[in-house]
Structure 1
């Protein structure tokens, strides 16, 4: 099989192309979008696109990884601006919800149906569960959260996030992933308070 020709592009151009590809995929999904359509819409050659990744599948994986990486970076920056444990959890889960709202339903459906991107999504939701547990532990150490309830809440959050990732929780509630993460933050904070405001 003939390998597509690649054209060398500088890192700034590559980053710009990847960002534009990501925006198209997030808005429309990736199953039906062809390399030819991407090239036409981005006003570049196929060879230029193949300089970003060797195949369409690799472009999809790269764009999905970049979506989660850049979203995590933005969320952590926002979390670092707060010291109150409750606010940090709320900002974190709110940030996850906001990031997931950038996904169209078509992208979400494509992502969970395509094994490589489903694995990226699963890995990132597992990281989110771990991060929430860390934030809960910080709140326990600061005396803001009850220890026993904090441990239970951390496990409950992990199960809830797993339920969102697998789609079971979304199917049963009719919620989107973004709405589920937002609601989880509200429930978690109200339940973890060690004393009334």
Structure 2
């Protein structure tokens, strides 16, 4: 009898399931304090199974971080695809970024900031998100969809704030976690580029 599903499909699905479980664990509790033995016990798998995902704990942390941000990017772009108009797309984009980061505990964010390979992944995604916001603003201004602002300047301001969020500077300065800071940035940007109030 021919199997209905190839063995490779099961292996791929199992890898994805493990990565999803690792993301949930790390987001909830962080990762710096966990050993591979403890991670395996929490996931109810063998340590050798973890070694099929990465060759060391450091490599595993980096791979899980990549997995998290890759899934988050897909969700964010899905939200943008359903929005109509520049302000709505910007709101959808930044709100979705905030929502993606909402499950991340303070411990996870601290561990992320303290582990360079994982921090580099966050920095890379922050730069990509900043570029996306810049493109949305510039496209909207060119199309006349938003107020005639200096699109490149507004985009640069947004980029600076996003970098400060990633570097924890916003958290240290005003106490906002990353998720809340993205929501505030969405409100600030969309209000700033919106139409001027009518004068009587």
Residue of structure 1 in register with 2:172 after alignment: 171
Residue of structure 2 in register with 1:63 after alignment: 64
Contact 1:29 1:104 in 2 (8 A): yes
Residue of structure 1 in register with 2:123 after alignment: 122
Residue of structure 1 in register with 2:111 after alignment: 110
Residue of structure 2 in register with 1:5 after alignment: none
Residue of structure 1 in register with 2:138 after alignment: 137
Residue of structure 2 in register with 1:185 after alignment: 186
CA–CA separation in structure 2 for the residues paired with 1:31 and 1:107: 8
Structure 1 residues 72-81 or 165-174, which shifts more?
165-174
Contact 2:113 2:119 in 1 (8 A): yes
Deviations 1:62-93 (A, max 9, x none): 11011111000011011011221110000000
Q: Secondary structure at the match of 1:148?
A: coil
Q: TM-score, normalised by structure 2?
A: 0.90
Alignment gaps of 5+ in structure 2: 1-7
Deviations 1:6-30 (A, max 9, x none): xx98111111111111110110000
Residue of structure 1 in register with 2:36 after alignment: 35
Alignment gaps of 5+ in structure 1: 1-7
CA–CA separation in structure 1 for the residues paired with 2:83 and 2:196: 20
Q: TM-score, normalised by structure 1?
A: 0.91
Number of residue pairs the alignment of both structures matches: 190
Structure 1 residues 145-154 or 69-78, which shifts more?
145-154
Contact 2:141 2:149 in 1 (8 A): no
Structure 1 residue 167, shift from structure 2 partner: 1.7
CA RMSD of aligned residues (A): 1.6
Deviations 1:133-158 (A, max 9, x none): 01111211221223433232111101
Runs of 4+ deviating beyond 6 Å? none
Structure 1 residue 196, shift from structure 2 partner: 4.1
CA–CA separation in structure 1 for the residues paired with 2:148 and 2:128: 22
Contact 1:143 1:194 in 2 (8 A): no
